[in-house]
Homo-oligomer: A and B are copies of this chain.
Amino acid sequence: MICNSYKSFFKILADDCKLNVINILSKGPLTVSELCKKLECEQSRISHCLQALKKFGFVASQVKGKHRVYSLEPKIMVPLLKLIDEHVEKYHRNLCKCNGVTWREMK
């Protein structure tokens, strides 16, 4: 096991903003400004997230005039999300207690 690669893999995805981007892109490709509008989120924040996701192969991008269209890489994301769904369903109670609550408070 290449431990640091695993860590990077998980770290990138352990973030609300990036997960929201992934979620919304799973419904179809969007430009940066469209993502900002739909997620009611700052442009620079979205861009930072997209760069990280792209660097690690979770999304792809394509220039289209002034705009840049981002799309999910389904090969990794579809089976990954499916797998987690199954686990999340089982451990929903524990996993959900993290909602806006710090790790320590939830104990």
Interface of A is mostly: helix
Pairwise interchain contact B83-A5, C-beta atoms closer than 8 A: no
Given A83-B83, A87-B57, are A92 and B5 also a contact pair (CB < 8 Å)? yes
The answer to whether A2 and B56 have CB atoms under 8 Å apart is no
CA–CA, A16 and B14, complex, Å: 14
Place the interface of chain A in its size category.
35 or more
- Alpha-carbon distance between A57 and B89 when the two chains are bound, in angstroms: 11
Question: Which one of B5, B8, B96 lies within 8 Å of A5 (CB-CB)?
Answer: B96
Q: Which residues of A contact B (CB under 8 A)?
A: 1-11, 13-16, 19-20, 22-23, 26, 55-57, 76, 79-81, 83-84, 87-88, 90-92, 94-96, 98-100
